């Protein structure tokens, strides 16, 4: 297995697990909540809200401005 | 009723802005400005302490903590993989075909007009979602 395949597989596994965590939260399974509920809880505190906004800004810069 | 109207207006604004922004050429000053404008607006709104932000879900809810831990692990692993791929590049702005970064893998999607529009809409929606009341 090449390094390229391993890297792509790593991202794919993370994507699938992320989708599974999202689905489980939406269906109230595995003791998880919706990502929106987590976001709502985090954004009620200013430091967490600012950290989220900075990550969001970086994502926009990295994927959309380049 | 008012919140539904506000939501409809926000969706329309996001769609309009995404349409205009997704037509900017990548790696251009206009694309940088198109990102900087909403980023600055969201950052300003996020720094202001406003009552009503966030939900009533208590932070001590074990389901919330479990979900937070799961996402934290995913984000840390994703960032580590991205960083490892980036460190294998021959130069900071030269991609390595053997260790592709996430942005390189998403290039076929974000290079086309529909993909760019969806990426812009998603990004703007998330920004609005973070600072909305």
**Residue B95 — φ and ψ, nearest 5°?**
-70, 150
Q: Check B42 against A57: CB less than 8 A apart.
A: yes
CA B126 from centroid of its chain's CA atoms: 6
Cβ proximity of B73 and A39 under 8 Å? no
What residues of A are in contact with residue B46 (Cβ under 8 Å)?
46, 49-50, 52-53
Nearest CB to B57; choose among A3, A37, A53? A37
CA distance readout (Å), B89 to A60, B99, B112: 22, 7, 25
Judge contact between B124 and B38, C-beta under 8 A: yes
Q: What is the mean pLDDT of chain B?
A: 84
Contact A21, A33 (CB under 8 A): no
Q: Which residues pair with B94 in a beta bridge?
A: B91
The pLDDT of residue B39 is: 93
Average pLDDT, stretch B50-56? 56
For position B54, what pLDDT does the model report? 57
In this model, does residue B119 exceed pLDDT 80?
Answer: yes
Three-state DSSP at B11 gives helix
Set of chain B residues whose Cβ sits within 8 Å of the Cβ of A36? 129
pLDDT tens string B68-109? 999 999 999 999 999 999 898 888 778 888 889 888 888 888
- B131 near A57, Cβ under 8 Å? no
For residues A26 and A47, give the distance between their C-alpha atoms in angstroms, rounded to a whole number: 26
Q: State the average pLDDT over residues B5-29.
A: 85
Cβ of A16 under 8 Å from any chain B Cβ?
no
Look at residue A11 in the predicted model and tell me its pLDDT.
93
- Global pTM value: 0.80
Can you state the angle between helices A3-26 and A35-42, rounded to 10 degrees?
A: 80
Contacts of B72 (CB under 8 A, 6+ apart): none
Nearest-angstrom CA–CA distance, B47 and A30: 34
Contact B68 A38 (CB under 8 A): yes
The pLDDT value given to residue B48:
80
Write the pLDDT tens digit of every residue in A12-63.
Answer: 999 999 999 999 999 988 889 998 888 888 888 888 888 999 999 988 888 8
pLDDT in tens, B107-118: 888 778 888 889
A38 interfacial to chain B (CB closer than 8 Å): yes
Could you give the CA distance from residue B129 to residue B123 in angstroms, rounded to a whole number?
10
The question of ipTM being above 0.90 is answered as no
Q: Checking phi first, is residue B54 left (phi over 0); if not, alpha (psi -120 to 50) or beta?
A: left
Chains A, B: CB pairs < 8 Å: 141
The confidence score (pLDDT) of residue B70 equals 94
Chain B residues in contact with A2 by the CB 8 A cut-off are 98
């Amino acid at each position: 297995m090449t390094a390229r395949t391993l890297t792509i597989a790593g991202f794919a596994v993370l994507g699938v697990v992320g989708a599974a965590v999202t689905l489980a939260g939406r269906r109230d399974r595995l003791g998880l909540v919706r990502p929106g509920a987590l976001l709502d809880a985090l954004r009620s505190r200013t430091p967490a809200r600012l950290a989220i906004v900075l990550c969001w800004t970086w994502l926009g810069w990295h994927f959309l401005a380049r | 009723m008012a919140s539904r109207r506000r939501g409809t207006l926000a969706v329309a604004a996001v769609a309009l802005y995404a349409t205009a922004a997704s037509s900017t050429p990548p790696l251009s000053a206009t694309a940088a400005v198109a990102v900087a404008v909403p980023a600055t607006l969201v950052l300003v709104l996020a720094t202001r302490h406003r009552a009503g932000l966030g939900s009533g879900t208590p932070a001590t809810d074990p389901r919330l903590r479990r979900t937070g831990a799961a996402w934290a692990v995913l984000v840390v692993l994703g960032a580590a993989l991205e960083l490892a791929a980036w460190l294998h590049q021959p130069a900071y702005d030269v991609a390595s075909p053997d260790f592709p970064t996430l942005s390189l893998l998403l290039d076929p999607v974000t290079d086309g007009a529909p993909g760019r529009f969806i990426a812009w809409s998603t990004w703007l929606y998330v920004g609005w979602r973070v600072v909305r009341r």
